[in-house]
A and B are shown apart, each in its own frame.
Chain A
């Protein structure tokens, strides 16, 4: 693996809903094996950006490439087939399927050259993936995914995405609603996923996690890119502190 090869690039990505510009001219690049943090206040366009890049909604302008292949105009399942996975901020389990079946869908479909196209292979991979994500106790459960609690649903969302064998994975607030211990576990898990060869974009409000995970951070504000750089530098940037974290956070840090 070439450590510095550009895997993914977004160029001038823009999304307008009528008169509202939700994402405005956002560009960034990702190198293979990198973890990029995507932060910004609520409503700054993070999830919309992910929706555009994964094909869930269309572009108003700009384009993105994966290994040089243009993504604009492709339907979500094609983008997924090329190797881009995502999780949803509001988790979307297949409620009446079992936990194992939820993850099996990831192996049965997912990346085009991801393997596990037959049911038995998908079942075996799903069991492995559940164990990796700390849901091993649910492998043989016949209960529907509906019966999981919130942290487990977050893990299931992650397990499904991993079973797709993505090259690039967008994690949309997988740590929201988790307690400190669970956040530490999630950070360890995400590092392990990266070590497995997956490039990651992590949307998160938990700054501790952003600091310990990310190689670089992109800050969105009102749909536009405010700044970009290493986490420590970006999080201390005065514009970022006042725009995103608010004045009081800045003062408490200097007190």
Chain B
């Protein structure tokens, strides 16, 4: 649809011009939003389109962050190369892990991927090259603008990859796998290869976000980078907006980041509470996500109650 492209391009141009007009606080806010949106879109590939609820994407985020950080500091590589290598290593790591854990389904897959993240964190804690528990310091860049544009570029890439998946043969294959893997295989879809590729794309995007993140905050700590709440947040944002759609995770992260960050400036505990309440409300009343409710005009109280009845467990 050309309209989508025109609107998308206009938004990108506006965002690219925005930093000149924005306060430093808003710039930091937007970098944070771009990053969480990348993570939500990354999770959407494996969790939304393919139907494999990964709890391991924080691991790929961390692998990307550490690979980039190490290549930048120890390897003395230029940042662009270090970042691309970070994405590539995270992607390869996801492909490797995926060949094993994608044989599992449902909660078993979720637990296995969670275990991979925890194990990776422990390994990073105990290596010398990562700085172990003491963390890894990265060189400081004074201006936030490079991170603004980098994170925006990664987000554009993430959205374009999701858009391609939504319209391509590959994407039909992934959605067929999500709906019924046996039927998908019987219809000629190479399920193992497709799932691994989806997982690798998901891991690669999370790794790129991690690489930019590390250089942005200038300090990597295993407990912070590999924490499970990264994964939880990307799942919540994607599901909130609409998993398995292109714009859902983007919308979900925009709304949730706005609510959360907006309220944290007032009161941290209030923000946590409201975040939780919003998530509960959406899961109960709009289980297909915000984007579906808006697209199909299912926002009337009657429709919301109907959803509650239809999807209750």
Task: Name A residues whose Cβ lies closer than 8 Å to a Cβ of B.
Answer: 54-56, 75-77, 80-81, 85-86, 88, 92-97, 101, 104-106, 108-112, 117-119, 122, 160, 164
By the criterion CB–CB under 8 Å, are A108 and B185 in contact?
A: no
> Would you mind naming 24 contact pairs between A and B with Cβ atoms under 8 Å apart?
A54-B186, A55-B185, A75-B192, A77-B189, A80-B186, A80-B187, A81-B188, A93-B179, A93-B180, A94-B175, A94-B183, A95-B180, A97-B176, A101-B172, A105-B176, A105-B184, A109-B173, A109-B188, A109-B189, A110-B187, A112-B188, A119-B168, A160-B187, A164-B187
By the criterion CB–CB under 8 Å, are A104 and B172 in contact?
A: yes
Q: CA of A56 to CA of B179 in the docked complex: distance in angstroms? A: 17
Residues of chain B within 8 A of A75, CB atoms compared: 185, 190, 192
Q: Is residue B272 within 8 Å, beta carbon to beta carbon, of the partner chain? A: no
Contact of A94 with B167 at beta-carbon distance under 8 Å, contacts A80-B188, A109-B188 already known: no
Q: How large is the interface on B (under 10, 10 to 19, 20 to 34, 35 or more residues)?
A: 20 to 34
Residue from B167, B173, B185, B188 with most neighbouring chain A CB atoms (10 Å): B188
Residues of chain B within 8 A of A96, CB atoms compared: 175, 179
Closest Cβ of chain A: how far from B163's Cβ, in Å? 13
Residues of chain A within 8 A of B186, CB atoms compared: 54, 56, 76-77, 80, 85-86, 88
Task: Name B residues whose Cβ lies closer than 8 Å to a Cβ of A.
Answer: 167-169, 172-173, 175-176, 179-180, 182-192
By the criterion CB–CB under 8 Å, are A106 and B182 in contact?
A: no
Residues of chain A within 8 A of B167, CB atoms compared: 119
Q: Closest 7 A-B residue pairs measured CB to CB?
A: A109-B188, A94-B179, A92-B183, A80-B188, A76-B185, A92-B180, A110-B188
Contact of A105 with B185 at beta-carbon distance under 8 Å, contacts A77-B190, A94-B179, A119-B167 already known: no
8 further A-B contacts with Cβ under 8 Å, apart from A105-B173, A112-B188, are A80-B187, A88-B183, A88-B186, A93-B179, A96-B175, A109-B169, A110-B188, A164-B187
B171 nearest in chain A by CB position:
A119
Closest Cβ of chain B: how far from A146's Cβ, in Å? 10
Q: CA of A101 to CA of B175 in the docked complex: distance in angstroms? A: 10
Q: CA of A235 to CA of B168 in the docked complex: distance in angstroms? A: 49
Residue from B179, B180, B182 with most neighbouring chain A CB atoms (10 Å): B179
By the criterion CB–CB under 8 Å, are A109 and B187 in contact?
A: yes
The answer, among B182, B189, B192, for a CB contact under 8 Å with A105, is B189
By the criterion CB–CB under 8 Å, are A94 and B185 in contact?
A: no
Closest Cβ of chain B: how far from A85's Cβ, in Å? 8
Q: CA of A122 to CA of B183 in the docked complex: distance in angstroms? A: 18
Q: Is the interface of B mostly helix, strand, loop or mixed?
A: helix
By the criterion CB–CB under 8 Å, are A92 and B182 in contact?
A: yes
Closest Cβ of chain A: how far from B244's Cβ, in Å? 8
Q: CA of A80 to CA of B191 in the docked complex: distance in angstroms? A: 13
Closest Cβ of chain B: how far from A147's Cβ, in Å? 12
Q: CA of A75 to CA of B187 in the docked complex: distance in angstroms? A: 12
Residues of chain A within 8 A of B169, CB atoms compared: 108-109, 117-119, 122
Residues of chain A within 8 A of B172, CB atoms compared: 101, 104-105, 108, 119, 122
By the criterion CB–CB under 8 Å, are A111 and B188 in contact?
A: yes
Residue from B179, B185, B186 with most neighbouring chain A CB atoms (10 Å): B186
By the criterion CB–CB under 8 Å, are B188 and A97 in contact?
A: no
Q: CA of A96 to CA of B186 in the docked complex: distance in angstroms? A: 18
Residues of chain B within 8 A of A81, CB atoms compared: 188
Closest Cβ of chain B: how far from A191's Cβ, in Å? 24
Closest Cβ of chain A: how far from B182's Cβ, in Å? 6
Closest Cβ of chain B: how far from A133's Cβ, in Å? 16
Closest Cβ of chain B: how far from A169's Cβ, in Å? 11
Q: CA of A104 to CA of B172 in the docked complex: distance in angstroms? A: 8
B177 nearest in chain A by CB position:
A94
By the criterion CB–CB under 8 Å, are A56 and B188 in contact?
A: no
Residues of chain B within 8 A of A112, CB atoms compared: 188
Closest Cβ of chain A: how far from B293's Cβ, in Å? 16
By the criterion CB–CB under 8 Å, are B180 and A77 in contact?
A: no
Residues of chain B within 8 A of A122, CB atoms compared: 169, 172
Q: CA of A192 to CA of B189 in the docked complex: distance in angstroms? A: 27
Residues of chain B within 8 A of A86, CB atoms compared: 186
B191 nearest in chain A by CB position:
A77
Q: CA of A106 to CA of B176 in the docked complex: distance in angstroms? A: 10
Residues of chain A within 8 A of B191, CB atoms compared: 77
Closest Cβ of chain B: how far from A72's Cβ, in Å? 17
Contact of A108 with B173 at beta-carbon distance under 8 Å, contacts A81-B188, A119-B168 already known: yes
Contact of A94 with B189 at beta-carbon distance under 8 Å, contacts A56-B182, A88-B183, A118-B169 already known: no
Q: CA of A118 to CA of B168 in the docked complex: distance in angstroms? A: 8
Closest Cβ of chain B: how far from A30's Cβ, in Å? 19
Closest Cβ of chain B: how far from A143's Cβ, in Å? 12
A87 nearest in chain B by CB position:
B186
B185 nearest in chain A by CB position:
A76
Residues of chain A within 8 A of B184, CB atoms compared: 94, 105
Q: CA of A63 to CA of B211 in the docked complex: distance in angstroms? A: 51
Residues of chain B within 8 A of A104, CB atoms compared: 172
A110 nearest in chain B by CB position:
B188
Residues of chain A within 8 A of B190, CB atoms compared: 75, 77
